[in-house]
Amino acid sequence: MPSEKELEEYYKDRYQEVKEKVEYKDFLNDIEEIKEENSDAPFITEEQIVNMAVEKHAGRQNIQQTHTNQVQKISSLVDGNGNISIQGRLLAISNIKTFTTKKGREGKVANLTVEDSTGKIRVVMWTDNMKYMSRINEGDIVKINNLEVKTGYTGDLEVQMRNNSSIQVMPEEVDSSLPKYEEVITPLGEILEDGEYNVIVRIKKISTLREIPKEDRTLQIITLDVMDKTGSMEFTLWNNDTALVETLELKEHDTIKIIKARAQSRYDQMSLSNSWNGRIVKDDYDVPDFEESILKIGDADEEENVTILGVVTKIYDTITFTKNDGTDGQVKSIEVTDDTGAMRVTLWNKETEITMNKGDIIKIEGGNIEFDDYAGDGYRLNTGWNASIVMNPEIDDELREKLAQIDKFQVTKISEASNVDIDEGREIDVVGRILSMGDIREFQRVDGTDGQVRSIDLSDETGSINVSLWDDKVDINQGLGDAIKIENAQTRLGQGRMDLSVGRSSRITIPSDEEIINLPSFEELERDRYNDRTISQLEDGEQNTKLRVRITSINDINTFTRADGRDGRVRAINVADETGEIQVSLWDNDTELKFQEGSAIIIENPVIDSQGVNLRLSIGNNSTIRQARTEEAELMPSIHEIENKLYIEKAIEDIEEDDRHIKVKGIIEEINGEKIIYAMCPNCNKRITQDEEGYVCDICGEKIENPNYLMIVATTLQDETGTIQATFFRKEAEELIGATTDEVVSIFSQTGDESSMSGKMEDLIGHEVTIIADSNYNEYDEDIRLNVRKLLIVV
């Protein structure tokens, strides 16, 4: 394609022909107008467009515009003639081809070859002219009216039909001077040199579509193996002609007549290809049929050009790779099984796009069997350049019944998949709903490469199984409660149970309606899998529990360093139902909460362990924490109902040792503003001390450059019954004084005075607060104190 600069030079050069009659800018406008008028003509060239612009102003005397549709001799036609007719012998009719115009419309085009006593010419038919195709045959004498003469893309003259053009089949006696037409059918065995031939053949094989990348475009090719009683030969369709296989519904064993097939010799072997003016006619011709030799997979050995037929029993994901020339290629493996065995088959490029499902019958012709150390039986079939793949071919009832007995593609129930007696390493297919989904975890392999893994629990009506998704399989589109089908999952023995591993050779797909017809709903599977518990019913180490709770408080995220040097994050939240309140630890990605205080949430299969006398929950890899669905939340008490139930209000004199979740209202009588910020070790979370060299952790024995900070505010509360010391920590302390920990640390670092906040804090004396707190007995001072869990009101 010429560059913009080259095109401009071409316009200027051609403008010299008409510069005396038109301004250059008007000449360019003419070119643009002609381009717009011919935007639906797919094959018009830049040269033809410029010719039209030149002719508009040149006033050439040799351009004849007739208005009577008089018949002209082919030898007298001149580029630009319009409204003319020709009459002659119809020598060739091409097949109809489809195209897409620049405006996105679909069109049709076909070519005729017409000869009179003076010469031959091509006639181009367009979409509106296709009605005449069924009325004409090779050998007819035709008169074609209302034509326009143009220079074609080959540089030769051609005539083009218009919307109002017509074709008349004339009687033989209309012109005795026309050459006679004789359709000579040449047997394949007699084609010995280059040329055009008519042949009648039977199709033995149709290759799958192949693509050949070139610098400026990609060529498409389909090869048909054809035969007659004298021999066999390849017949090739190129580019747009490849669509004829689908348009004419060609298939193996069909008989066809190919008119004007172009023969050529290559590597001392003759082959045929479709010509621009050739035609394929599908009909019932008298050509011998052929017997197919289908290889039984159980008899496979290293061999070329074989045919196998069987059932698709495994399908693996397509893999994209980079070829030696830098372009992308695609490869996909499938497994094909017949009544004698199974074999891995490798598909390449366009073959990977063929629609196929497990259970489909497939016939592969022209494949090469190669020995493969990695194949279970030692052999693999590789589809070659000229291979043919036919999905669900026509076969006899006996063979179809035999193939129907192959049940390897049946889905395995999860109860069977999870059986420890099943063979480890076996590839199976399962269908189920995602009952829980863990976070993506990153790790490093022993070879130094990075990997990813995610665990999900998959359930059907028979049970549940843990599934590990590896690397690119972790990013699945489905979520909690969705039904999925996993193909080629590998069984793997876990801790006393059988798990499934889903890696590179596995596929995750959406199951069909038939495959999930008996699959219970997510709610039904939840009820069967998990035991509903209230907080008061929880026991240490209990598994498969389900809690319906509301969040009562959310603490900040704490960061730490693991023993292996990796950074970690943890966040504690408190949740409650009508029977109690409990702390939940969230780790790493789970710390990024999308919930708020008061949110109704569902916690499934948490890790339950004891911390002193209290239980604590932790969200592990096999746990799920999610927002309650609307219908679930409506059945749960509100946060206010839970607080009124759990938080018993007490006067200060009635507070007893080890009271939990009590509501206390009092006036701030005293507040300690001298020391409220404490430095903490980011590794062990213990207090650290500062000396001349900075902060040092006595526990870790390390110098700490960037400590964490903890705010603690000690107060004394008073009501009409007495006084009690109440200590505010972290978020509750920040809410009390109206400043964040970072803000206070910044103030201290600027002033160098840790008591610089005491004046502001003393302003709180005399204010009434309402708190939720736990009590504990202080042995040193022999009194009861409060640890504030939540600040409700400051008045």
> Looking up tokens 């060609």, which residue turns up?
250
The whole-angstrom separation of Cα 475 and Cα 259 is 54
Q: Are the beta carbons of 339 and 403 closer than 8 angstroms?
A: yes
pLDDT of residue 292: 84
pLDDT of residue 701: 72
pLDDT of residue 527: 84
Out of 415-419, 467-471, 697-701, least confident range? 697-701
pLDDT of residue 408: 65
Residues 17-58 have pLDDT tens digits of: 788 888 888 888 888 887 776 666 555 667 767 877 777 776
pLDDT of residue 244: 92
Residues 428-442 have pLDDT tens digits of: 899 999 988 887 888
pLDDT of residue 651: 95
DSSP states of 396-412 as a string?
-HHHHHHHHT--TTSPP
Out of 35-49, 77-91, 397-411, 431-445, least confident range? 35-49
The whole-angstrom separation of Cα 730 and Cα 709 is 9
Does the pLDDT value for residue 498 go beyond 80? yes
Does the pLDDT value for residue 767 go beyond 70? yes
Cα-based torsion angle of the residue sequence 646, 649, 654, 659 in order, rounded to the nearest 10 degrees: 30
Q: What mean pLDDT do residues 181-189 have? A: 91
Residues 280-306 have pLDDT tens digits of: 999 999 999 988 889 998 888 888 889
Out of 84-93, 207-216, 539-548, least confident range? 207-216
pLDDT of residue 9: 82
Does the pLDDT value for residue 753 go beyond 50? yes
E-strand ranges in 24-96 read 82-93
Does the pLDDT value for residue 546 go beyond 80? yes
Average predicted confidence (pLDDT) for the chain? 86
Residues 305-341 have pLDDT tens digits of: 899 999 998 888 888 888 877 778 889 989 999 888 8
pLDDT of residue 770: 94
The whole-angstrom separation of Cα 369 and Cα 602 is 55
pLDDT of residue 547: 94
% pLDDT > 70, the chain = 96
pLDDT of residue 533: 93
- pLDDT confidence band for 685 (50 / 70 / 90): confident
Burial category of 446 from C-beta neighbours within 10 Å (exposed 0-12, middle 13-18, buried 19 and up): exposed
- The dihedral built from the CA positions of residue 312, 318, 324 and 326, taken in this order, carries a sign that is positive
Residues 738-748 have pLDDT tens digits of: 999 989 888 88
pLDDT of residue 65: 44
Q: Are the beta carbons of 120 and 114 closer than 8 angstroms?
A: yes
What does the H/E/C string look like for 688-705? CEEECCEEECCCCCCEEC
Structure token pair of residue 116: 């009179």
The whole-angstrom separation of Cα 84 and Cα 103 is 29
Residues 600-643 have pLDDT tens digits of: 999 988 999 988 778 999 988 778 888 888 988 999 999 989 98
Does the pLDDT value for residue 720 go beyond 80? yes
pTM of the model: 0.57
Q: Are the beta carbons of 191 and 197 closer than 8 angstroms?
A: yes
pLDDT of residue 591: 86
More confident residue, 121 or 218: 121
DSSP states of 382-446 as a string?
EEEEEEEEEES----HHHHHHHHT--TTSPPPHHHHT-TTSPTT-EEEEEEEEEEEPPPEEEE-T
Does the pLDDT value for residue 154 go beyond 90? no
- pLDDT confidence band for 374 (50 / 70 / 90): low
Does the pLDDT value for residue 162 go beyond 70? yes
Q: What mean pLDDT do residues 473-483 have? A: 90
Could you tell me which residues come within 8 angstroms of residue 122 by beta carbon, excluding any fewer than 6 positions away? 111, 112, 113, 152, 156, 158, 159, 277
- pLDDT confidence band for 680 (50 / 70 / 90): confident
